[in-house]
Structure 1
Amino acid sequence: MELRTLRYFVAVAERGSVNAAAGVVHVTQPALSRQVRQLEHELGLALFERHGNRLTLTAAGAQFLPVVRDVIRRAEDALSAAEAFAAGRMVKLTIAAPTTTLTDVIAPFLATFGQEDPLPTVVEAAGTSVLNEGADLAIATRPPEASWERLDLAVLPLWAYVPAGHPWSSRASVALEELVGEPLVVLDRPFRPRQILEDALSAAGLGEPECIECSNPQVAQALAAAGRGVAVVSDDARFGLHGLRIEGAQGPLRISLFAAWSSGHHAAPGLAAIAARLREFCAERYGADVAP
Structure 2
Amino acid sequence: MLRYFVATADAGSATRAATVLHVTQPVLSRQLRQLEQQLGLRLFERDGRRLRLTTAAEDFLAEARALLSQADQVERAAEALASGRLSALHLAAPTTTLTDVLAPFLATLHADDPTPMVRELDPLGTTAALRAGADLAMVTRSPSRSLASRLLAVLPVWAYVRADDPWADRGTVGVAELVRRRLVLLTTDFRPRALLDGAMDAAGVGYGEHVEVANAQVAQAIAAAGRGVAVVTDDPRFDLVPLHIDGPGGPVRIRLYAAWDPRHHAAATLAGIAERLAAFCVERYGPEVAP
**TM-score (norm: length of structure 1):** 0.71
2-structure distance, mates of 1:217, 1:137: 23
| Residue 122 (structure 1) aligned with residue 118 (structure 2) | yes
Once the two structures are TM-superposed, the CA of residue 148 in structure 1 deviates from its matched residue by: 0.4
The residue correspondences of 1:67-82 to structure 2 (distance < 5 A) are: 81-82=77-78
Equivalent position of 2:288 in the other structure: 289
Q: Secondary structure at the match of 1:109?
A: helix
2-structure distance, mates of 1:262, 1:87: 17
Q: Secondary structure at the match of 1:247?
A: strand
Contact 1:162 1:168 in 2 (8 A): yes
Once the two structures are TM-superposed, the CA of residue 211 in structure 1 deviates from its matched residue by: 1.2
Once the two structures are TM-superposed, the CA of residue 175 in structure 1 deviates from its matched residue by: 1.1
RMSD of aligned residue pairs (Cα, Å): 1.7
The residue correspondences of 1:28-107 to structure 2 (distance < 5 A) are: 81-82=77-78, 84-85=80-81, 89-107=85-103
1-structure distance, mates of 2:164, 2:76: 53
Equivalent position of 1:228 in the other structure: 227
Deviations 1:174-222 (A, max 9, x none): 1111100000001011000010011111111001222110000000000
Equivalent position of 1:155 in the other structure: 154
1-structure distance, mates of 2:212, 2:76: 41
Change (3 A) 1:88 1:134: closer
Equivalent position of 2:272 in the other structure: 273
1-structure distance, mates of 2:206, 2:81: 57
2-structure distance, mates of 1:79, 1:193: 45
Give the number of equivalent residue pairs: 215
Q: Secondary structure at the match of 1:256?
A: strand
Once the two structures are TM-superposed, the CA of residue 80 in structure 1 deviates from its matched residue by: 8.7
The residue correspondences of 1:180-219 to structure 2 (distance < 5 A) are: 180-219=179-218
| Residue 134 (structure 1) aligned with residue 133 (structure 2) | yes
Change (3 A) 1:80 1:110: farther
Once the two structures are TM-superposed, the CA of residue 82 in structure 1 deviates from its matched residue by: 2.9
Larger radius of gyration: 2
Q: Secondary structure at the match of 1:167?
A: coil
1-structure distance, mates of 2:98, 2:107: 12
Counterpart of 2:98, as a letter, is L
2-structure distance, mates of 1:220, 1:250: 25
Once the two structures are TM-superposed, the CA of residue 123 in structure 1 deviates from its matched residue by: 1.1
Equivalent position of 2:242 in the other structure: 243
Once the two structures are TM-superposed, the CA of residue 89 in structure 1 deviates from its matched residue by: 2.7
Counterpart of 2:131, as a letter, is N
Equivalent position of 1:11 in the other structure: none
1-structure distance, mates of 2:153, 2:275: 11
2-structure distance, mates of 1:111, 1:79: 30
Contact 1:80 1:92 in 2 (8 A): no
Contact 1:186 1:213 in 2 (8 A): yes
Counterpart of 2:205, as a letter, is L
1-structure distance, mates of 2:83, 2:264: 16
Once the two structures are TM-superposed, the CA of residue 171 in structure 1 deviates from its matched residue by: 1.6
Residue segments in structure 2 that go unaligned for 5+ positions in a row: 1-73
Q: Secondary structure at the match of 2:98?
A: helix
Change (3 A) 1:83 1:236: farther
2-structure distance, mates of 1:172, 1:131: 39
Deviations 1:77-136 (A, max 9, x none): x89953624887311001101000000000000000011000001110153120011000
2-structure distance, mates of 1:79, 1:111: 30
**TM-score (norm: length of structure 2):** 0.71
2-structure distance, mates of 1:79, 1:150: 30
Contact 2:81 2:266 in 1 (8 A): no
The percent of aligned pairs where both chains have the same amino acid is: 58
Once the two structures are TM-superposed, the CA of residue 242 in structure 1 deviates from its matched residue by: 0.2
Which segments of structure 1 move beyond 2 Å, counting only runs of 4 or more? 78-89
Change (3 A) 1:79 1:142: farther
Contact 1:139 1:259 in 2 (8 A): yes
